[in-house]
A and B are shown apart, each in its own frame.
Chain A
Amino acid sequence: MNPILTQKLRAHERASAAEVIRPDVGGSPLLRRCKQSVTTETQEYRATVGLLALQGDFGLHRQMIEALGHSAVEVRTLSDLERVDCLIMPGGESTTIRKLMKQEGLFAALPQFARTKPIMGTCAGLILLGKAIKGSPGEDTLGLIDCDTSRNAYGSQYQSFRDVGEIRAGNGAVPLEMVFIRAPRIVRVGDNVEVLGRLNGEPTLVRQGTILAMTFHPELSGDARVHQLFLSLVVADPN
């Protein structure tokens, strides 16, 4: 790894890097449902994770999900959506993904889906999950998480970058590599939205209920903690 990034990682050593962030979602109906589906404490629950596969880097999310012991299903149609316990909306081009989602009826179906099942959005996924897109009033969104975004807010590919930010862990924070590709910025965060990750103080990872969204690409850095966090919203801890 780049020595400067390594130094940054070391600078964060006040919190244990092994600690995994675990938001408090104990009482939600979803988790009660998931708890019921865990048959014994020893048998691990395997979630069927949907990957919105209309366009974008859904293949890398598949690798992450399978490495964590869950099964991944590509979602291109409404009938695919019915088979999954949760959905990951990958990075890609939000304009392309939005068009194809509307064509398939997925755009209209997701608000209902989100009432009972978690959704994670990275980059383009975050833009589509948010409330409004700054400077693009004509581009509609799902509004499933109360934050506004600004597309390509850092600039073109020339300004894409990799850095070390921090994510919340218990009462502290742990460092996390974050890769930003023509990334959006979160420009407004609603009162009910929890900021779980930041880079230089700016929010990069946010959660509202069982919707988790981020400006960076955890699937590109090879660090599974964000995916683990998402899966913890799907699969209740038997303890």
Chain B
Amino acid sequence: MLKEQQMNAEDKRKIKIGLAEMLKGGVIMDVTNADQARIAEDAGACAVMALERVPADIRAEGGVARMADPARILEIKDAVTIPVMAKCRIGHFAEAQILEALEVDFIDESEVLTPADEAHHVDKDQFRIPFVCGCRDLGEALRRIGEGAAMLRTKGEAGTGNIVEAVRHMRAVQGGIRRLSVLPREELMTEAKNLGAPYDLVCWVAENGKLPVPNFAAGGIATPADAALMMQLGAESVFVGSGIFKSADPAVRAKAIVLATTHYNDPKRLVEASTGLGVPMRGLEIGSIPVEQLLQVR
């Protein structure tokens, strides 16, 4: 095994994206304690996100949302064998260092927490632990990859139980990729300028017709049908935040969303997954949220 100082950027990148690849076709669930983590694992989650509060509560309670207490993260790590992710604030590289020292498996540099830096994100290449970041369009996606993200997810609008923003963001990213793949090469530099994205990544996407890292869906998934919709739109896995533990019967709903994510292309299985789940989280109309309280613009 190579020691830390012997690993070059290519080794680290391969290993980081490797874990993102393993998480494909699965559901990553937000949990706030060991009991919830066990419910998630029993339902078939491929990973859990360890949090102090789920996004719906962060939204309702307000105040500054920060990285979870390490004791809570360790409690969750001890409760399950599947990978454990945790969130740090945007640009808060000290929180990221703490999460790396805790040996979480993935760090989410997340707009759900209150940003620590309004201009800069974490330099993710400095870390051995992979990062996932949110994006609303292709330019934002490629900037995060340029900083070293090993996985992307749509931002959606977390804590609303409303899928409309995640759909908008997934369509924007996929549409951006399709557009690049038909542009002549001489137009790519101007396109990179317009997207605010690194030129080499723009060229890579134009050539390959996809992102160089896995792209998952997040932000508003509350039902099995929501998960299937995002998978059919091109998501490779789904994150479910408040949708599970803010519903009437989390264990049943969690299992149903896992089933729907696997069989996303089979409407008969989706009927089975959608039936008899009890009351979903109530949800929020996006228009009813004051603009300054939107999480996705962070």
Contact = CB atoms under 8 A, between A and B. Distances in A.
B298 interface: no
B258 A100 contact: yes
A57 B26 CA distance: 10
Contacts of A220: 14, 18, 21
B8 to A, nearest CB: 5
A48 interface: no
A59 interface: yes
B7 A76 contact: no
A103 B42 CA distance: 13
Interface in A4-20: 4-5
B130 interface: yes
Nearest to B101: A158
A1 B15 contact: no
A60 B20 CA distance: 12
A2 B22 CA distance: 23
A217 interface: yes
Contacts of B106: 157
A163 B15 contact: no
Contact of A158 (B22, B41, B81, B128): B128
A57 B1 CA distance: 23
Interface string B250-270: 000000001100110010000
Name the residue in B44, B45, B82, B104 with the highest tally of chain A Cβ atoms < 10 Å from its Cβ.
B44
A151 B80 CA distance: 12
B82 A96 contact: yes
Contacts of A53: 25, 262
Contacts of A54: 25, 262
Contact of A96 (B1, B128, B258): B258
A93 B82 contact: yes
A56 B83 CA distance: 13
A179 B25 contact: no
A160 B19 contact: yes
A101 to B, nearest CB: 11
A58 interface: yes
A162 B2 contact: yes
Contact of A92 (B2, B10, B26, B258): B26
A91 B6 CA distance: 26
B85 to A, nearest CB: 10
Contacts of B81: 95, 136, 151-152
B75 interface: no
Given A2-B6, A160-B18, A161-B15, A99 B44 contact: yes
Given A156-B104, A156-B105, A93 B22 contact: yes
Given A4-B6, A100-B44, A181-B15, A92 B25 contact: yes
A115 B257 CA distance: 34
Nearest to B43: A99
Interface in B209-240: 236
Given A54-B25, A92-B22, A123-B22, A2 B11 contact: yes
A93 B14 contact: no
B191 interface: no
A159 to B, nearest CB: 8
Nearest to A99: B44
Contacts of A168: none
A91 B103 contact: no
A2 B8 CA distance: 6
Interface string B180-217: 00000000000000000000000000000000000000
B44 A158 contact: no
Interface in B125-184: 128-130
A182 B84 CA distance: 12
Nearest to A136: B81
A7 to B, nearest CB: 11
B244 interface: no
Contacts of B18: 160, 179, 181, 217, 220
A54 B19 CA distance: 17
Shortest 3 CB-CB contacts between residues of A and residues of B = A157-B105, A57-B21, A181-B18
Given A96-B82, A217-B18, 11 more contacts: A54-B25, A55-B26, A55-B44, A91-B21, A93-B22, A93-B26, A93-B83, A96-B44, A157-B129, A161-B7, A161-B11
Interface of A: 1-5, 53-60, 76, 91-93, 95-96, 99-100, 103, 123-124, 136, 151-152, 154-163, 179, 181-182, 217, 220-221
Interface of B: 1-2, 6-8, 10-11, 14-15, 18-19, 21-26, 41, 44-47, 81-83, 100, 103-106, 128-130, 236, 258-259, 262-263, 266
20 contacts: A2-B6, A4-B6, A54-B262, A56-B26, A58-B25, A92-B22, A93-B22, A95-B44, A95-B82, A103-B259, A123-B22, A151-B81, A158-B129, A161-B11, A161-B15, A162-B2, A163-B1, A179-B14, A181-B18, A182-B83
